[in-house]
Each structure stands twice: as structure tokens, then as C-alpha cells.
Copies of this chain bind each other. A is one copy, B any other.
Amino acid sequence: MRVRLEDVARATGVSPKTVSRVLNEEASVKESTRQRVLAAMESMNYRPSPAARGLAGSRSFLVALLYNNNDNPASTYLAEVQDGVLDACDAHRYSMMACPLRTRGQDFIRRVDALVSDHQIDGVIVTPPLTDYAPLLQRLQEHGVPHASISPVQHKGAIGVCMDEQHAAKALVDHLVELGHRRIAHIVGIANHGASRWRLAGYKEALAAAGIEFDPSYVAQGEFTFGSGVIAARQLFELPQPPTAIFASNDDMAAGVMWAANERGLKLPRDLSVCGFDDTPLATQLWPSLTTVRQPSREMGKLAALQLMERLRGRGPGLLVQVPYALQLRESTAAAP
């Protein structure tokens, strides 16, 4: 019925163990044997049973993608990351399980335990803001399960992928400065997210570089959602000297700013320049289209998974790779009024 390792062994005239060695890319197999075995595997369309491998050995060839399910980052972001991870898994014959985690309560500990001990997960990919959630990372360490991080705050010792968000944010604000803006406001995201910190830091850096004094009243608190963008913008509009440009920490909030601007009768981008961050599909669906920073989420998912598997296969410790960002200058930013 099913082609087994033993069948391949018989066809090649070697022992099952040798076929197993080839399958697992172990070193001590003569090249000629290896080729014969591989050929047989191919021609017989042999596909190893993950269940048997998991049961007999110590590896499951399973990785888990962990994401936060209450403080949800945009689902488009996660979907892209997930697709990237699946891509990488496919290429290396790993399988992926998606695992939403609620960090409230102790639920998540049980879930992580269940994952690791039930399925003997080989490794984990952690997405923000879980990336820096200490109890989770600690638990993973206790289980001895390696993890790759996407955009971790703490770079030291981390493997995975990151982007120079601070630099990107600075470039974006530089652009506003070049357009002649001086009263530039910023809407920060949820406080303990790395993204919020980096983008704020980039904003400050750009101001400093342009010789504009930092004014805390131009910084409004948001929480990465459309609605919070609306509220923050309304606040900024009430200032005695309202900003001529607003840099929102992500696209959703930027959309909220645009909504609030429309509500107030401001004409974009003539009366107000707006920019966001992430380059979600939303950015090109707004009117005017949104100036933002492209974050290659899919690519990042893929790279993180690759680093994890590099590590799992013992081909090295795995790295924290950096991906380039790309400014997307569109119609929502224009010369200061």
C-alpha cells in the first residue's frame, strides 16, 4: 500500500538504516550509495511518514508559528508572514502549524506546553508583539525549543529577521522636512511594541537632524488601530498650532488621520500631509494614496523560518538577518502649506 523505507532499502540492496541515513542527510554514507538510494526513493515516490519519524526519533519536522490573538496586529501582516513561513517550510520539507495565543491569563502556558509536548515541535517562529514577551520566551527555553523571531526588540542572541525601522522612520520624516514641513506630529503605537519605539526614535532623530525642537505635545498616543488614529488626530487638530504633517506609526492609524482630516474639512494633501508605516494594501486603497514604508512581511516570514531551520538542521547557530525597507512616496504627502 504505502512505500516504506524498508521497500526502498530492499530495492537498493542496502539496509533500512542506510536509507534512513540518506534521508536524514547524515555524513557517513558513501556518495555512490547515497545516489543509488536517492534514485530509488525518487523512482518509487517514497515519502517518509512524519508520524513514524516523530515517534521513533527526536524530531517532528514541525514548526509552529505563534501569534498574538488578542492584541492582534493587522491580519494582512500575519497572513503575509504566514505565507512566507509556509514557503520556507515547503522548501525544506517541514510542516507548519499556526498557533494563535492569548497572552491574557495563564492559558498561554498550557497552550505552549501542549504544543511542545504533544507535537514535539522542533522549533517556533514568534511574531511581534510576542517576540519580546518574556514569559513565553522563558517557557520555550525551559522546553529547550529553539525559536526565530520576527522584528525582536532585543537583538542580542536572537535569530530571525529584522528591519531597520528607526532608520526607515527617520527617512520618512526627512522626506516631510524636505517638503518644507516644520510642525510635524507623530502618533505612536502600543507602548511596549518594538515598532512603536523604533518609529518614535526615528521621528525624533529626523527632527534633531533638521534642527527642529522636539515638542511632546506633537506626539499623540495611539494603539495601531484605525479608531485610535482618528482620536489622536482630532487631538492634534485642536492644538493652538496644529501640525501640517502627521506621521502615524502604522497605516491603519494613518487612515484614521485621513478620516479625521476629512471630517474637519481639510483637503489632503494640500492642508495636511499624512504618512504611515507598513505599506499594507490599505495604503493604495485610500484617497489620496498613502506615503508609507514598505515592510516585506512575506519575505521576513520566509527568512525567519529559514534561519530557524538552519539552526534545527545543525548547520549553524542561525543569524539575525536584516532586510531593507523601501520608502513608498505617494500622494498623501506634499509641500507644506
The segment from A10-18, A50-58, A240-248, A315-323 that touches chain B is A50-58
Give the CA-CA distance A49 to B95 in the complex, in Å.
17
Closest CB in chain B relative to A224 CB, distance in Å: 12
B86, B117, B285: the one contacting A98 at CB < 8 Å is B86
Give the CA-CA distance A95 to B62 in the complex, in Å.
12
Contact, CB under 8 Å: B51 / A252 = no
Find residues 270-293 in chain A having any chain B CB closer than 8 Å to their own CB.
281-282, 284-287
Q: In the assembled complex, which residues on chain B have CB atoms less than 8 Å from the CB atom of A284?
A: 226
Interface check A44, CB cutoff 8 A? no
Residue of B nearest to A82 (CB): B98
Interface check A118, CB cutoff 8 A? yes
Residue of B nearest to A118 (CB): B47
The answer to whether A252 and B285 touch (CB under 8 A), given A75-B75, A75-B79, A97-B97, is yes
Contact, CB under 8 Å: A52 / B55 = yes
The answer to whether A97 and B100 touch (CB under 8 A), given A50-B118, A118-B47, is no
The interface size of chain A toward B, counting residues with CB under 8 Å, comes to: 44
Find residues 106-131 in chain A having any chain B CB closer than 8 Å to their own CB.
114, 117-120
Give the CA-CA distance A51 to B114 in the complex, in Å.
14
Q: In the assembled complex, which residues on chain B have CB atoms less than 8 Å from the CB atom of A75?
A: 75-76, 79-80
Contact, CB under 8 Å: B51 / A120 = yes
Contact, CB under 8 Å: B47 / A55 = no
Q: In the assembled complex, which residues on chain B have CB atoms less than 8 Å from the CB atom of A281?
A: 226, 252
Find residues 74-96 in chain A having any chain B CB closer than 8 Å to their own CB.
75-76, 78-80, 82-83, 86, 95-96
B2, B97, B100, B282: the one contacting A285 at CB < 8 Å is B282
The segment from A152-160, A207-215, A253-261 that touches chain B is A253-261
Q: In the assembled complex, which residues on chain B have CB atoms less than 8 Å from the CB atom of A120?
A: 51
Q: In the assembled complex, which residues on chain B have CB atoms less than 8 Å from the CB atom of A226?
A: 281, 284-285
Q: In the assembled complex, which residues on chain B have CB atoms less than 8 Å from the CB atom of A287?
A: 258-259, 262-263
Interface check A35, CB cutoff 8 A? no
Give the CA-CA distance A5 to B213 in the complex, in Å.
68
Contact, CB under 8 Å: A83 / B54 = no
Interface check A69, CB cutoff 8 A? yes
Closest CB in chain B relative to A257 CB, distance in Å: 11
Interface check A149, CB cutoff 8 A? no
Q: In the assembled complex, which residues on chain B have CB atoms less than 8 Å from the CB atom of A151?
A: none
Residue of B nearest to A3 (CB): B117
Interface check A166, CB cutoff 8 A? no
The answer to whether A83 and B55 touch (CB under 8 A), given A49-B118, A258-B287, A287-B259, is no
Interface check A332, CB cutoff 8 A? no
Give the CA-CA distance A268 to B49 in the complex, in Å.
59
Interface check A307, CB cutoff 8 A? no
B55, B99, B256, B262: the one contacting A49 at CB < 8 Å is B55
Can you list 16 residue pairs at the A/B interface with Cβ under 8 Å?
A47-B117, A47-B118, A50-B51, A50-B54, A51-B120, A75-B76, A75-B80, A76-B79, A79-B79, A86-B98, A86-B99, A96-B98, A98-B98, A226-B284, A263-B287, A282-B282
Q: Which 8 pairs across A and B sit closest by C-beta, in order of nearness?
A: A51-B54, A75-B79, A51-B55, A262-B287, A255-B285, A226-B285, A51-B51, A75-B76
